[in-house]
Amino acid sequence: MTAAMVGWAHLPFGKHAEETVESLIVKAAVGAIEDAGIGPEEIDEIILGHFNAGFSQQDFTASLVLQANPVLRFTPATRVENACATGSAAVHQGVRAIRSGDARFVLVVGVEQMTTTPGAEIGRNLLKASYLPEDGDTPAGFAGVFGKIAEAYFQKHGDQSDALARIAAKNHRNGVSNPYAQMRKDLGYEFCRQEGEKNPFVAGPLKRTDCSLVSDGAAALVLTDPATALGMKKAVAFRSLAHVQDFLPMSKRDILKFEGCSRAWGQALGEAGLALEDLSLVETHDCFTIAELIEYEAMGLTAEGRGAEAILEGWTEKDGKLPVNPSGGLKAKGHPIGATGVSMHVLTAMQLTGEAGGIQVKDAEIGGIFNMGGAAVANYVSILQAMK
């Protein structure tokens, strides 16, 4: 155990036209520091996760965290970015600062404001997380990239529309009880399964209910070393963490295998001395339902091409043998790019400390997190366990 989370904050995800990137950062940072029960003067380093890619005119944002308290002035602050895994990149960077001994307390903030950007521009911004020489002209933007992945998966393993609809319905049902979720509505399997005016096809076999939401939001957490954490009011330790980066062009790999995801899970579980069945829950990156389906296979829950079994047999339901996305996932909670990975860590920590309220998984002891950037390009896994 190289580091521990000792405080956190999570703002509701959604459309927040009255907010700015700065105000979202400040609210999350203030909340996390207060939750940790420390003073701002004790923060030794700040890491900000902020993708941007055109969502914010203010593109130099690391120092905005200092606005949370004048005492933070002169504290080292760095912005990190790794597409949709930006939040986890920030968390892992903070863990490294603790592990190295360079910092005793690190504040990590993840943020994005997307909904104030025009729709067509949102699509262009998100497509920047793909390999533009190959995918830059993809219709429907990044959804089109995953639409092509879904088409290829269907061609190889058969029509998976039932499984995708079950995943969407599960995550929307879970999101109803998450006070931070952007969409708190149980859409039901039939609505998610059928194409219609309110649920049209977006790209390939993917319908609107297969796609995560465009969101504004922020989350933050405070890290410290395990010894210090033992003296805090709450502590959730990193049993292990792994980061695997893969080729950006999909043409250079078998995109249906999510090999970077598999390697990251293998490394993290191996370092922790655990098997997948030792986990109480998983928060995984369901930017599109086809991603969650393939991630079942990549994490080792099912064999290749058999991911549908996990959802159709109820294994990944909140009361199943491995609950996946009890928070509602990106599908219901929303996906403010830079905040997503930090959100995953905060909500998992809440599960492990019994603070998760309506989304609480019974007797949760160990949680796994998978956050990815691009189409399984940046792959981050964290294994968390409560220390107290």
* pLDDT tens track for 64-103: 999 999 999 999 999 999 999 999 999 999 999 999 999 9
Alpha carbons 35 and 385: distance in angstroms, whole number: 19
Burial of residue 323, with CB atoms counted within 10 A of its CB: 0-12 exposed, 13-18 middle, 19 or more buried: buried
The mean pLDDT value for 177-185 works out to: 98
Cα angle 27, 212, 84 (rounded to 5 degrees) comes to 65
**Which pLDDT does position 1 carry in this prediction?**
82
* pLDDT tens track for 205-224: 999 999 999 999 999 999 99
Give the rounded percent of residues in the chain with a pLDDT score beyond 70: 100
* pLDDT tens track for 236-295: 999 999 999 999 999 999 999 999 999 999 999 999 999 999 999 999 999 999 999 999
- The answer to whether 8 and 219 have CB atoms below 8 angstroms apart is yes
Mean pLDDT, the chain, whole residue set:
97
Q: Is residue 170 predicted with pLDDT exceeding 80?
A: yes
**Which pLDDT does position 176 carry in this prediction?**
98
* DSSP string covering 106-128: EEEEEEEE-TTS-HHHHHHHHHT
**Which pLDDT does position 224 carry in this prediction?**
98
Annotated domain spans of the chain: 4-117+214-229
- The answer to whether 263 and 370 have CB atoms below 8 angstroms apart is no
The mean pLDDT value for 11-18 works out to: 98
**Which pLDDT does position 388 carry in this prediction?**
76
* pLDDT tens track for 330-381: 999 999 999 999 999 999 999 999 999 999 999 999 999 999 999 999 999 9
- Per DSSP, what are the bridge partners of residue 386? 236
**Which pLDDT does position 302 carry in this prediction?**
98
**Which pLDDT does position 111 carry in this prediction?**
98
* pLDDT tens track for 51-68: 999 999 999 999 999 999
**Which pLDDT does position 139 carry in this prediction?**
87
Which of the listed CATH numbers 3.40.47.10, 3.30.70.260, 3.20.19.10, 3.40.50.970 matches domain 4-117+214-229?
3.40.47.10
Residue with token string 């109803």? 176
* pLDDT tens track for 313-335: 999 999 999 999 999 999 999 99
Return the CA Rg of the chain: 19
- The answer to whether 283 and 352 have CB atoms below 8 angstroms apart is no
**Which pLDDT does position 148 carry in this prediction?**
97
